[in-house]
Amino acid sequence: MGHALRKQGFDEHVAASEYIALAQDLAKPNAEVTPANKMRLDVLKECTKHLESAQKVESSGAEAAAAEAPMMVQLVHAVPRPDRATAEARESKIETFSAAKELLTSSS
């Protein structure tokens, strides 16, 4: 299908210009998303898929295997942990909390 589209003059450049024209139409003030615009976008997406699949067939074996292989991504999450309070600081906080609790309960 991709070869047939290219023979009829519809290639990646034409698809790109159509995408840009559609985006410009939709970016206008008070632009409405009409069923015709939705259909136009769907047709462009399908044609682009056919053009891409035709390119994969034309590419050599190593290039095609590299294009189809899943890309490995390593995410690194390095967030510094806060310093933990020392045992003495924790005990003083507990004593302060206990004293405040006693004051509140005795005044009630």
pLDDT digits (tens, 9 = 90+) for 20-57: 988 888 888 888 888 888 888 888 888 888 888 766 66
Q: How confident is the model at residue 91 (pLDDT cuts 50, 70, 90)?
A: confident
Mean pLDDT, the chain, rounded, equals: 78
Q: How confident is the model at residue 89 (pLDDT cuts 50, 70, 90)?
A: confident
- Inter-CA distances, 97 with 23, 31, 104, 106, Å: 61, 62, 11, 14
Distance separating alpha carbons of residues 24 and 1, to the nearest angstrom = 28
Distance separating alpha carbons of residues 51 and 37, to the nearest angstrom = 21
pLDDT digits (tens, 9 = 90+) for 96-106: 878 888 888 87
85 against 23, higher pLDDT: 23
